[in-house]
Chains A and B, each alone.
Chain A
């Protein structure tokens, strides 16, 4: 849960991006779709130090996106994307899961971020 692992910002689309998002060093955007009861993709590969934006979208109802170890906990509502900007500071596998109860398959709505 150390803040040194990642620099994280959760943004609503359209709000000002942090410095690294502007300018020539545009981050890679990775779209993640959430629907009952899975994330697509559910395995996300990131490179150490590479700024990325995880663009979270829901295809059906409210879901959550929580990476406990990184202190990320976002709500994903249908109709609007939720952006999570981060710069991986540490190699490893980080589990994420849906943190908004969404029904019978909620428990299985999980995935991993792999930083190498």
Chain B
């Protein structure tokens, strides 16, 4: 799915959601069709949108990468609060905090992050861990602050499944969770709309950069019998759109620093801050679920233009 494929008329038609000033932003807002046509036909009452925020890395310090690290999340929260039409809920897909070897400091960052996001007007918040939050202590501190690292919930006829591919520092979902997933899926009809939320890509995007889930193929195989599956993830600090069969995978931008396109440079390193274009490459996304229609994704900047 490339930007040039986007249908301009579709774009205009969609101006219903979260319109206003952000929509007019110079960064542009690109609606995308997710994995084929009318995949949400089965979502009976679906007619809402939610937001995905990702990779906020609270606690990160690096003036060359993001001199505004202490305020980027807060600015994004302001932008979210200013949206004219309110999302039903907001999901954070991992790397809430930046890694630290100090167990105490990790807990402090997680709690501080939780406090900051209380500034969101929307109170229905869902969280997932990233490797920065959970890999060094296998999810211990994260669970103390946010609870379970994998879970399901249903919203207006759509089944959401949050998967943890970071509490194992080697990046496996693991047998226990895969068996749990299998049992959860068994309860669902094959045509029910399913949204999978996770941190790492479930396919081999760039294994040399840890942009993969070791047993991701096994997870995707479990999802394959289901006709309407979309995966939203983070981790790679940029947009990416990929299909495995009929399942589409969409990574979100970060709220701390962008990373280079997969394999575009010899060594993965944050893209330095550009003073002429502050917050460039950062942002969050909305996902609109509508009856009888494919869901629509839009990317939003940190700060309104």
- Residues of chain A at the chain B interface (Cβ within 8 Å): 36, 62, 64, 66, 68, 73, 75, 95, 97, 99-104, 106-108, 110
Number of contacting residues on B, CB 8 A?
A: 18
User: Which residue of chain B has its CB nearest to the CB of A98?
Assistant: B210
Does chain A have a CB within 8 A of B126? no
3 closest A-B pairs by CB = A101-B135, A101-B131, A101-B169
Contact B169 A68 (CB under 8 A): no
Interface of B is mostly: loop
> In the assembled complex, which residues on chain B have CB atoms less than 8 Å from the CB atom of A108?
267
> In the assembled complex, which residues on chain A have CB atoms less than 8 Å from the CB atom of B169?
62, 100-102
User: In the complex the two chains form, what is the Cα distance from A75 to B267 in whole Å?
Assistant: 22
Contact A99 B210 (CB under 8 A): yes
Contact B210 A101 (CB under 8 A): yes
In the complex, how many angstroms separate the beta carbon of B171 from the nearest chain A beta carbon?
Answer: 7
Contact A97 B136 (CB under 8 A): no
**Extra pairs beyond A95-B208, A99-B170, A100-B170 (17, CB < 8 Å):** A62-B169, A64-B170, A66-B207, A66-B208, A68-B208, A73-B214, A97-B208, A101-B99, A101-B131, A101-B136, A101-B171, A103-B99, A103-B101, A103-B136, A104-B98, A104-B99, A106-B99
From B131, B171, B210, name the one whose CB has the most chain A CB atoms within 10 angstroms.
B210
Known: A62-B169, A99-B170, A100-B169. A68 touches B207 (CB 8 A): yes
User: Which residue of chain B has its CB nearest to the CB of A96?
Assistant: B208
Contact A107 B101 (CB under 8 A): no
Contact B170 A107 (CB under 8 A): no
Contact B99 A107 (CB under 8 A): no
User: In the complex the two chains form, what is the Cα distance from A106 to B99 in whole Å?
Assistant: 10
> In the assembled complex, which residues on chain A have CB atoms less than 8 Å from the CB atom of B166?
101
Does chain A have a CB within 8 A of B269? yes
User: In the complex the two chains form, what is the Cα distance from A101 to B170 in whole Å?
Assistant: 6
User: In the complex the two chains form, what is the Cα distance from A100 to B207 in whole Å?
Assistant: 12
In the complex, how many angstroms separate the beta carbon of A30 from the nearest chain B beta carbon?
Answer: 22
User: In the complex the two chains form, what is the Cα distance from A100 to B171 in whole Å?
Assistant: 7
> In the assembled complex, which residues on chain B have CB atoms less than 8 Å from the CB atom of A103?
99-101, 136
Contact A104 B100 (CB under 8 A): yes
Can you list 21 A-B contacts with CB-CB less than 8 angstroms, sorted by A residue number?
Answer: A36-B101, A62-B169, A64-B170, A68-B208, A73-B214, A75-B170, A97-B208, A99-B171, A100-B169, A101-B135, A101-B169, A101-B170, A101-B171, A102-B169, A103-B99, A103-B136, A104-B99, A104-B100, A107-B268, A107-B269, A110-B267
Contact partner of B101 (CB less than 8 A), chosen from A64, A73, A104, A110, is A104
User: Which residue of chain B has its CB nearest to the CB of A99?
Assistant: B170
Q: Tell me the chain B residues, 181-239 only, with Cβ under 8 Å from chain A.
A: 207-208, 210, 214
User: In the complex the two chains form, what is the Cα distance from A86 to B170 in whole Å?
Assistant: 22
In the complex, how many angstroms separate the beta carbon of B45 from the nearest chain A beta carbon?
Answer: 40
User: In the complex the two chains form, what is the Cα distance from A5 to B29 in whole Å?
Assistant: 46
User: In the complex the two chains form, what is the Cα distance from A99 to B209 in whole Å?
Assistant: 9
User: Which residue of chain B has its CB nearest to the CB of A36?
Assistant: B101
In the complex, how many angstroms separate the beta carbon of A90 from the nearest chain B beta carbon?
Answer: 18
User: Which residue of chain A has its CB nearest to the CB of B101?
Assistant: A103
In the complex, how many angstroms separate the beta carbon of B166 from the nearest chain A beta carbon?
Answer: 8
Q: Tell me the chain B residues, 166-180 only, with Cβ under 8 Å from chain A.
A: 166, 169-171
In the complex, how many angstroms separate the beta carbon of A54 from the nearest chain B beta carbon?
Answer: 18
User: In the complex the two chains form, what is the Cα distance from A102 to B99 in whole Å?
Assistant: 9
> In the assembled complex, which residues on chain A have CB atoms less than 8 Å from the CB atom of B171?
99, 101
> In the assembled complex, which residues on chain B have CB atoms less than 8 Å from the CB atom of A107?
268-269
> In the assembled complex, which residues on chain B have CB atoms less than 8 Å from the CB atom of A64?
170
User: In the complex the two chains form, what is the Cα distance from A29 to B131 in whole Å?
Assistant: 33
User: In the complex the two chains form, what is the Cα distance from A97 to B208 in whole Å?
Assistant: 7
Q: Tell me the chain B residues, 122-140 only, with Cβ under 8 Å from chain A.
A: 131, 135-136
